[in-house]
Amino acid sequence: MSEYQYYEFAAVDGPISDEGLQYARGCSSRAAVSRVRWQNTYTFGSFHGSVETLLKYYDAHFYIANWGSVCLGLAFPESALDLEAVQPYLRGGDRFKDTLSVAKIGHRHIVWWTRNEEGGWGWTEGEGLIDQLIGVREELLRGDYRALFLGWLADFDPDEWQDRGDGGVVMPPIPPGLDRLSPALMTLAKHFPSDPDALAVAAGLSPASRAIRLPMAEVLEKLSPSEMRALLARVAEGGGPGVMAELNRLTCPRGQIPEGQAMNCVDFAALTIAARRARQKQEAEAAAAKRQHEAELRRQHLASIWQRADRLWQDLDPLMAQKIASAYDQAAGHLQELREAHAQAGDLHRFQQRLDEFRRRYSNRPSMLRRIEKL
């Protein structure tokens, strides 16, 4: 299997600086580099720059390799994320062990989703995926933490929790809207999958209502003159994206965001396992019903064959007259159905008599006789 690695970086808040562009160009001589995009595919060798350094300038990064690695990194101005609200979704915070982690690089926070699938997944392509995922960043800036919950859920194994005694471990808040994922979140869930039954249970516990955002004018009116001057100074110094992120967060105060009921991990695992068993039972019943329906259709078909048996035996002679392989295959298929129809009718003896007659009549057709032996 040939090697495939794909790296892409994208600027969202605005074109990167001259300093950033110079560094980006120095990372590869073959990459397509601009102030808003950096992308390259590797079929041999690897990326020689620093992902972390590029995320000081670009706002999003996506990486995928066909040996089973995929990574999404989203960069935010230092004050844009409410780290206190983010913290419950983090486990140990180890980027290479946990799906979800957060790191600080300079004056920015990077939210990472990382997955390493043992055995790889064969051929894959990364082109265009960062554009499908970039919406996650805007959702996080608005205080929508569904992407964080999906990252936490990707590491949740209900079977590991069902017999554990530490029932005091509380799972993170279940954000609203898990039952209606945005296109960006659906792409995220596809590349960083979680237990489907756990996601279904969480979606059922997820609040249906969304917070009502305050008008931006109302948020600005509540700022003191000194706060307003400080924000304008930051905008003048190039910190506009960070200021907008803060203001967007203020339009949806944390206290107004509804959360699902508090639940410990053991209870959530129990609900997930119960949902899995219910789903498996439903699937088994549906499969049994399908098999029963197909069996009845087959019974009716063979009954029709039995009623038309004399005509079908006669239809074999024109096929044999063609003396070609495809006609012999068709004749063998008819014989197989005739055999099953006679068996269903309890008259295999009659079938064998007529088959012996057919075999004697075409004893000089060895290729057809071989097909009959396989019936």
Q: DSSP assignment, residue 229?
A: H
Statement to judge: residues 200 and 340 lie in one domain = no
Output the pLDDT for position 162.
81
Residue 298 lies in a domain: no
Residue range(s) defining the domain that contains residue 189 = 5-213+252-277
Statement to judge: residues 262 and 118 lie in one domain = yes
Output the pLDDT for position 268.
94
- Strands 108-116 vs 5-10: parallel, antiparallel or unpaired: unpaired
Output the pLDDT for position 217.
80
pLDDT > 70 in the chain, percent: 90
Statement to judge: residues 228 and 153 lie in one domain = no
Q: DSSP assignment, residue 38?
A: E
Q: Name, in order, each residue with C-beta under 8 angstroms of 38's C-beta and a sequence gap of 6 or more.
A: 7, 8, 9, 10, 24, 27, 31, 32, 54, 58
Going along the chain, which residue ranges are E strands?
5-10, 32-33, 37-42, 60-65, 69-77, 100-105, 108-116
Output the pLDDT for position 345.
94
Residue 29 lies in a domain: yes
Statement to judge: residues 161 and 239 lie in one domain = no
Statement to judge: residues 258 and 269 lie in one domain = yes
Statement to judge: residues 32 and 173 lie in one domain = yes
Please count the other Cβ atoms lying within 10 Å of the Cβ belonging to residue 3: 12
| Of 186, 155, 16, residue with least CA distance to 91 | 155
Higher pLDDT, 161 or 339: 339
Output the pLDDT for position 161.
87
- Angstrom distance (rounded) from CA 242 to CA 28: 29
Residue 169 lies in a domain: yes
Single out the residue in 243, 261, 285 at which a domain terminates. Answer: 243
Q: DSSP assignment, residue 93?
A: -
Statement to judge: residues 21 and 120 lie in one domain = yes
Output the pLDDT for position 243.
74
Residue 299 lies in a domain: no
Output the pLDDT for position 58.
97
| Of 73, 127, 81, 79, residue with least CA distance to 100 | 73
Statement to judge: residues 199 and 221 lie in one domain = no
Single out the residue in 201, 224, 243 at which a domain terminates. Answer: 243
Interval 120-151: pLDDT, tens: 666 678 899 999 999 999 999 888 999 999 99
Provide mean pLDDT across the span 219-232: 80
Interval 151-209: pLDDT, tens: 999 999 999 888 776 667 889 999 999 999 999 999 999 999 999 999 999 999 998 76
Provide mean pLDDT across the span 342-350: 94
Q: How many helices (H) and strands (E) does the chain have?
A: 17, 7
Statement to judge: residues 100 and 234 lie in one domain = no
Output the pLDDT for position 23.
96
Residue 50 lies in a domain: yes
Residue type for 207, please? P
Output the pLDDT for position 261.
62
| Of 37, 2, 32, residue with least CA distance to 16 | 37
Statement to judge: residues 56 and 195 lie in one domain = yes
Residue 301 lies in a domain: no
- Estimate the crossing angle of helix 325-344 against helix 366-373, to 10 degrees: 30
Statement to judge: residues 257 and 239 lie in one domain = no
How much is the pTM?
0.80
Provide mean pLDDT across the span 280-297: 97
Residue 170 lies in a domain: yes
Statement to judge: residues 43 and 81 lie in one domain = yes
Going along 35-138, which residue ranges are E strands?
37-42, 60-65, 69-77, 100-105, 108-116
Residue 291 lies in a domain: no
Write the Ramachandran bin of 223: left for phi over 0, alpha for psi from -120 to 50, otherwise beta: beta
C-beta separation of 300 from 292 below 8 A: no
Number of domains composing the chain: 3
